[in-house]
Amino acid sequence: MFCWTGIPPPPASWFGDFELILGCNLLFSYQPKIRRPILPKLCRALAPGGYFITGEAGRDLVNLPELRAVFPPVAIFQEAGRLFNHG
Of 23, 2, 28, whose CA–CA distance to 76 is shortest?
Answer: 23
Q: What span, in angstroms and rounded, lies between the C-alpha atoms of 48 and 24?
A: 21
Digit-coded pLDDT (tens) for 23-77: 888 888 888 888 888 888 888 888 888 899 998 888 888 878 788 888 888 899 9
Looking at per-residue pLDDT, the higher value among 4 and 46 belongs to: 46
pLDDT exceeds cutoff 50 at 1: no
> From residue 79, how far is each of 4, 33, 47, 83, 85 by CA, in Å?
33, 22, 9, 6, 12
Q: Are 54 and 26 spatial neighbours (Cβ–Cβ below 8 Å)?
A: yes
